[in-house]
Structure 1
Amino acid sequence: MVTWHDGCDESDGCDGRGRDGGDGRAAAPGARPGAAPGAGPRQGDGHQRGRGRGRGHGHGSGRAARAATSAAVLCLAAGVLGGLTAPPAWAAGTPRAYEPAADAQRITGAASSADAPEVAPGLFTDRIRPGQEKYYALDLDAKADFHVTATAVPEPGSRVTFQDGLKVTLQNTDGDSCSEGSAAGNGDTAFPLAATASRLMGDPADEDCRAAGPYLVHVVREEGDNSDPSSWPLELSVMAEPGLKGGIPAPRPGAEKETDAHNTRPAPPSGPAENRTGGTGFNDARALGDGVWKDRVRAGETRWFRVPVDWGQRLYARTELPNSARRSGSGTGSRYVPHGFRMNVYNPARTPLYDEDFQGWDGDGAKFDRYSNPVRYENRFLDAASGTRFAGWYYVAVTVGPDMATPFPDGTPVTLRIDVRGRAQQGPEYDGDVAAAGFGVSGRDREMAEKGLTEAQAEHSATLRTVGWAGIGAGVALLLVLALWLLLARRRARTAGYPVPGPYGPAGSLPHYAPHGGPPQG
């Protein structure tokens, strides 16, 4: 399990290398070693030894070979499966915190651009204090589009106001801004704040940022009068999207009118809801396909899901909260919770599609939905539709406010209705491996959505399949070895004039043992 880097720097009085910011959960214990083998049978007199040798010829060595090979196969499987650690457990009723990616690199951003550590396509973890600024160095080519998303993670259940925020800017070394994005808190409730800055090669407004060379990522944590004083974990995602072969398509006429605000919502999916427990963040989000899904979310917690949306398709997502399980207090007065829940949608680069507020809940249930633009490459040059600019995993995050603990002390039941509309279309022709860059929809992605898997579960399943095929292969190899051994043993017996070994003795009958350890009698 990866822990958050504490992000200390020399100005804080530490060595700048950072320390592991543990989350307080104990690591899963390792596999218990197997018991030592017991002592073998006590060596007896000649009668016992003779019997052992007589029975062993043609049988005992075969059993030993089979046992040894089977044990080796089982040990191999146990070793592989033992390395697949179970997900960490949380105390009942405690909101789960955001989990960074297992392969994220720990790094400490610098207060000065002169000391900025280098980042590249991948994931990085750091920490950031109220009002702190951090710089990171990024080397860009003159072909790919780059997307940098900073995600700050306040402690679940803590108070985060509209004055608390995060701003990320991509700039050249002259200080010219190429792109910037920001995110702010609302609802006096903590949830992950994600902001994106992008360098787009086809954007005519980005002439100063098209050249290859060094650039800077500038991240600022904005604070207000009543800001959360604690240091927040920070995750930095850098994605390089290959350029296109040929020209860049022009925006479609009328695309600005295909936004959520200008479209009638489709009928939501219906039917019985199936259980799907959401993840803690982008890295372990639960895959979903079309259908009706349910989860139970603790007060102050954010659950994450992801849906594969291909070129030309639109995502419809609807979150519902039920009527109250009981009346608050004595059952009199208002049951209205102004900051009941929040839903937002993010694209494959982790960019929020909308700037969402918390929704109220009045005790009789509540719902909120979104219907995205069709996914098109050229949307990146449109203000209202720029979020739906590439195919891939789209994330749906649902936060339940802390005050929902009164009507739902055991967690709030949440229903999620997902519908991907439209036929998947052929995407643009990239000049590079776009799937390896993290974009596009594959058959594996659709399978994960159908089965409701996280990325870790999909990798676990693939490993189990590999181990299963390896076990079958080992079993076939074992049978071939045993067959060859038996064939050679029979040939040696015939050559030497001894009875041919077989399952029931030389003539197919059971052997009879003479007393006092003599040779077997037919």
Structure 2
Amino acid sequence: MRGRGRTTWWRAGDRPPGAVAGAGVVTAVLCAVAALPGGPATAAGARDSYAFDPAGRSVTGAKGTAGAPLLEAGRVYRDSLPGSGTLTYRLDLTAAESGYAPVTAVPPAGTTGNATDGIRVSLEDARGTRCSTASALFGAGLSARPLTALGQRQTGRSLCQGAGAYYLLVERLAAGGPANGTTSPAPAWDLEIAPVTEPGLAAAGPTTAPRNRDPASPEPLTGDPRDRTGGAGFTSARPLGQGVWRTGIAPGGTLFYKVPVDWGRRLHAVAELDAATNGHGYVGGALNLSLYSPVRGYVDGASLGYTGNRRSAALDPLPPVEYANRYAVLTGENAMRFAGDYYLVLHLSQKMADTFGTGPFHVTLRVRVDGPAHDGPRYDGRPEPRDVFTVTERDREAAVTGNAGGGGVGMKVLAGGGIGAGTVLLLVLGGWTVAARRAQTRASAQKPTA
């Protein structure tokens, strides 16, 4: 390396000037590169590997409405839910906007429980009127996994209208008795909360659900599957489009995918669990397939019992995405109210390991997205996050390649700028070199001249 016309050599093990600061940056970038979608760390859906949003802010829920911390739409929050009691948070909503507060609870490693263990999420107005209640449970698989439930306040309803403070309540559900058969307190579960607001319409729209939709299930796609490893959380969900996809998943593992679905288009998915290579017996709820909306609200789910033979589970027929679906009575139809990323979540029961081995087991996803796309409603304002109800050309490309959309805010910024991880690494190494040269120049300038 050169400085002021002379060559300086470093011995092995020496640090060049400026290396200390540069090393930290390079290490951070290497960590980010290793965490890119499709990395080997989560290739088989490792147990307890939920990827929280790295930009999530720590918050502490209150025991009641007094002192409840404010949650701002468009931000993600982290907290810890105790084994008993209720945590309370505050949302400030205008009269014209709908509010959504999805809560994901992540049990710690080694958690066991009953089918009815889980969480309940409610939203209330300042007078204590219940706007919504939703629960998420372990279910028939008896396997601990990330659970997501949604609290919501929708405009145009008879209850919970007007501007002001609304309160989000999160509580644990348990079958009763001490945790894990002991007298020790139940361990806390980590929480991720991602509030969203939806503005009202600029002009009056329909107030009834669409009719005359096709109730039949679309034919599953055929063809050779392509490999597509899932992400480890909502933020790192792997982009997925129409096609036949294949992944490996370990017992107790959970994989997240996101499918961009535009206004007027319809989504259908089937998950197939391959035959086991060893073992025999029966596992109830062996594979669970769940669908969540762009605001992480539950849409539909299917699960299958497993005897070692190839089995499949399919989502119920769903309507095309339309704004007026919010007036439908059925939960699945009502939730198909936004364009944006719909999340497919796979979970393989931990009990598979006891009967059929540790795997990984191969799962094939057959995803169909059909129907003519059209322009969406004209909102009187913008949602938060700003792009939550938008499907872009970049999203469609990512659904084919699977290369964009993972890793949280930092990686999204890089992907949005069209900068690959390898390019970032070269830029950092280049910056390290420049810093070293400047440091060497300063050091040379400070030495006394002969």
Tell me if both proteins adopt one fold, taking TM over 0.5 as the criterion: yes
**Structure 2 spans left out of the alignment, 5+ residues:** 10-20, 181-185, 428-450
Q: Which amino acid aligns with 2:267?
A: L
Match of 2:443 in 1: none
Does 2:333 match 1:395?
no
Residues of 2 paired with 1:179 and 1:223: CA distance? 20
CA contact (8 A) 1:157 1:402 kept: no
Residue by residue over 1:345-375, the C-alpha shift from the partner in whole angstroms, topping out at 9 and shown as x without a partner, is 0000101112x46420121111011132211
Normalising to structure 2: TM-score of the pair?
0.79
- Classify 1:86/1:308 alpha carbon distance in 2 versus 1 (closer, same or farther; 3 Å): same
Does 2:125 match 1:172?
yes
Does 2:352 match 1:404?
yes
Does 2:387 match 1:430?
no
Does 2:263 match 1:316?
no
Q: Which amino acid aligns with 2:250?
A: R
Residue by residue over 1:284-309, the C-alpha shift from the partner in whole angstroms, topping out at 9 and shown as x without a partner, is 11000111111100100111111001
Give the Å deviation of 1:230.
1.6
Count of residue correspondences:
391
Q: Which amino acid aligns with 1:413?
A: H
Q: How does 1:109-508 map to 2 (within 5 A)?
A: 109-121=61-73, 122-155=75-108, 158-186=111-139, 187-203=141-157, 205-206=158-159, 209-225=160-176, 227=179, 229-252=186-209, 254=211, 263-326=215-278, 328=279, 334-354=280-300, 356=301, 358-370=303-315, 371-384=317-330, 385-405=333-353, 406-434=355-383, 436-453=386-403, 454-456=405-407, 459-463=413-417, 465=419
Give the Å deviation of 1:252.
3.9
Q: Which amino acid aligns with 1:278?
A: G
- Classify 1:252/1:297 alpha carbon distance in 2 versus 1 (closer, same or farther; 3 Å): same
Q: Which amino acid aligns with 1:190?
A: A
Q: Which amino acid aligns with 1:270?
A: T
- Picking from 50, 53, 60, the partner of 1:101 is 53
Q: Which amino acid aligns with 1:148?
A: A
Normalising to structure 1: TM-score of the pair?
0.68
- Classify 1:353/1:156 alpha carbon distance in 2 versus 1 (closer, same or farther; 3 Å): farther
Give the Å deviation of 1:39.
7.3
Q: Which amino acid aligns with 1:183?
A: A
Q: How does 1:74-89 map to 2 (within 5 A)?
A: 83=29, 85-87=32-34
Residue aligned with 1:117, SS: coil
CA contact (8 A) 1:241 1:437 kept: no
Residue by residue over 1:424-461, the C-alpha shift from the partner in whole angstroms, topping out at 9 and shown as x without a partner, is 11211111234715112111211211111333365444
Residue aligned with 1:353, SS: strand
Larger Rg: 1
* TM-align CA RMSD: 3.2
Give the Å deviation of 1:101.
0.7
Residues of 1 paired with 2:78 and 2:291: CA distance? 22
Give the Å deviation of 1:41.
8.5
Give the Å deviation of 1:314.
0.9
- Classify 1:459/1:202 alpha carbon distance in 2 versus 1 (closer, same or farther; 3 Å): same
Identify, as 1 or 2, the structure richer in helix: 1
Task: Kindly indicate whether structure 1 or structure 2 has the higher relative contact order, using CA contacts under 8 Å at least 6 residues apart.
Answer: 2
Q: Which amino acid aligns with 1:342?
A: N
Give the Å deviation of 1:91.
9.3
CA contact (8 A) 2:208 2:328 kept: yes
Residue aligned with 2:335, SS: coil
Residue aligned with 1:202, SS: coil
Residues of 2 paired with 1:452 and 1:91: CA distance? 15
Residues of 2 paired with 1:286 and 1:35: CA distance? 45
Residues of 2 paired with 1:41 and 1:198: CA distance? 65
Residues of 2 paired with 1:348 and 1:35: CA distance? 54
Q: Which amino acid aligns with 2:138?
A: G
- Classify 1:415/1:459 alpha carbon distance in 2 versus 1 (closer, same or farther; 3 Å): farther
CA contact (8 A) 1:240 1:437 kept: no
Give the Å deviation of 1:99.
1.2
- Classify 1:157/1:303 alpha carbon distance in 2 versus 1 (closer, same or farther; 3 Å): farther
